[in-house]
Amino acid sequence: MKLTYRARRRLSLLLLLVWLPLYVVVAVTLVGWLGAMPFLVELLVYVALGVLWALPFRFVFLGVGREPPEDESER
């Protein structure tokens, strides 16, 4: 399924405004349930979770910051 430039922009906005805050709440809650950890271990867990959320959505964010393609110019 190939998304148009406009659809990718809208989906990326939805992901950043809705999915990411929900993911942060879930990640912080899960790390809290794990209990006390040394600072560096906790930092590594948060860094890993910070990268992990975006991996399934790489295709959505590719090229979103660039100008729209000629055939899909914004109206």
- Let me know: does 72 contact 5? Beta carbons within 8 Å: yes
Asked whether residue 1 is domain-assigned, the answer is: no
Under the banding of pLDDT at 50, 70 and 90, the label for residue 2 is: confident
pTM of the model: 0.75
Q: How many domains does the chain divide into?
A: 1
User: Does residue 39 fall inside a structural domain?
Assistant: yes
Beta strands in 3-52 (DSSP E): none
Residue 7 domain flag: no
- The token pair that represents 55 in the structure block: 């991996």
Domain range for 36 is 27-58
Q: pLDDT tier at 73 (50, 70, 90 boundaries)? A: low
The answer to whether residue 37 sits within a structural domain is: yes
Q: Over the stretch 54-63, which tens digit does the pLDDT of each residue have? A: 888 888 888 7
Q: Per residue in 13-66, pLDDT tens? A: 999 999 999 999 999 999 999 888 999 999 999 999 999 988 888 888 887 877
